[in-house]
Amino acid sequence: MNLKEKLMQKNGYVAMTLAKEFVSKDVGDRIDTVATFTERYNTARGTVQSAIKFLQEYKAISFESRGHLGTFITYIDYTKLLEVADIKSILGVMPLPYSKRYEGLATGIYKSSFAKKFPVNLAYMRGARNRLDSLEEGRYDFAVMSCLAAEHYIEKGEPIQIAVNFGTNSFVDNHVLAFNKNFGSEIKDGMRVGIDTSSLDHEIMTLKECAGKKVELVHLLYSQIISNLVNGTIDASISTIDEIRDKKLDVKYKVVSEDYGGKNTQAVLVIHKDREEMRNLILKFLNKEEIIKYQNSVVEEKIIPNY
């Protein structure tokens, strides 16, 4: 009988549920009592005991009873626990790595102790809305976006929560309003302004900067913004200092990040609000300082990106 068939038995669902709970534990952690699990999962005591026995026989986890002190974990195989929990790997989605800062964030996630403990894979997708939809469809376990975008979607009632905030300048250095070199440093009536509506950050900041002005909004992909700005197809657009510096562009710009409390510069890792096992696992094992250290090393060109 294979694993899938075993999990279809009476105690299979409880074994899967316990595996999701135990995957956020570590050796030496104390577990709840059988009575507590019985009440939590509204099932019979014997079913919980059988599920725990199955996990031990599958060599996914081992315990030691210490009398009145409780029961403690003595061994964990996270790969096997994830298999039982039906989590084949931890899949994340983040923006296309067009800047050193994004390359550094991806490198940090891949090189982290978190990725050494668990099988982690990353996909890359343009637009926070696209990443959010894929997360909510269950295609990914977490998504990376700006804190500005995440809080906007949460306020709109999207079923997500922020699990980790990597801090100021972890998403971008600063957003700027960039101008073709033939123009000044203010939005004026009659200007053609580039906008990428698939990027919530870009849309929010563009509309704010253009408020009260009679401008023509030119819809472009973010990857097309700078080239169209330089060749004069558009006169102005939101961009980042990272991109201007990385590409050594001859454009005028002014910083706009201070208008958003820095939230547009903060990378956050969001998960579905119902994925408590993923939240617990990330909070326990993901070291954001370690990831940011790798990111800074890539930005400062001390190490080669690896993602």
Query: Quick check: 1 pLDDT over 60?
Result: no
Q: How many residues make up the chain in this entry?
A: 307
Does residue 307 belong to any structural domain of this protein? no
Would 272 be classed as within a structural domain? yes
**Within-domain flag for 196:** yes
Residue 201: inside a domain: yes
Same domain, 164 and 272: yes
Strands (E), the chain: 30-31, 61-65, 71-76, 90-94, 120-124, 142-146, 160-165, 175-179, 192-195, 216-219, 236-240, 252-255, 267-272
Residue 259, pLDDT score:
75
Whether residues 114 and 228 share a domain: the answer is no
Is the predicted pLDDT of residue 6 greater than 70, yes or no? no
Are 32 and 160 in the same domain?
A: no
Identity of the amino acid at 77 = D
Domain boundary among 36, 64, 84: 84
Please state, rounded to an integer, the average pLDDT across all residues of the chain: 92
Do 250 and 280 lie in one domain? The reply is no
Instruction: Give 223's pLDDT tier (boundaries 50, 70, 90).
Output: confident
* Confidence check: pLDDT of 198 > 80: yes
Number of domains in the chain: 3
One domain, residues 77 and 9: yes
Q: Do 167 and 272 fall within a single domain?
A: yes
Q: Which helix (H) or strand (E) covers residue 3, if one does?
A: helix 3-7
Residue % of the chain over a pLDDT of 70: 96
**Tokens in use for 146?**
């700006």
**Top-confidence residue, 109 or 281:** 109
- Is 305 a member of any domain? no
Instruction: Note whether 154 and 294 are same-domain residues.
Output: yes
Look at the alpha carbons of 289, 112, 92, 159 in this order and tell me if their dihedral is positive or negative.
negative
Report the CATH number at residue 23: 1.10.10.10
What secondary structure does DSSP assign to 217-272, as a single string?
A: EEE--HHHHHHHHHTTS-SEEEEEHHHHHHTT---EEEE-GGGGTTGGG-EEEEEE
243 pLDDT tier (thresholds 50, 70, 90): confident
Q: Do 207 and 251 belong to one domain? A: yes
User: Has residue 12 got a pLDDT over 90?
Assistant: no
* Higher local confidence (pLDDT), 165 or 226: 165
Percentage of the chain beyond pLDDT 90 is 74
Eight-class DSSP state of 1: -
Q: Tell me: pLDDT of 242 over 90.
A: no
Q: What is the CATH number of the domain that holds 165?
A: 3.40.190.10
166 and 271 within one domain: yes
Lowest mean pLDDT among 19-33, 164-178, 190-204, 251-265: 251-265
Boundary (domain end) residue, out of 84, 105, 138? 84
In-domain check, residue 304? no
pLDDT digits (tens, 9 = 90+) for 110-128: 999 999 988 899 999 999 9
The boundaries of the domain holding residue 167 are 90-171+266-299
Per-residue pLDDT band at 2 (split at 50, 70, 90): low
Q: Which two tokens stand for residue 63?
A: 């315990």
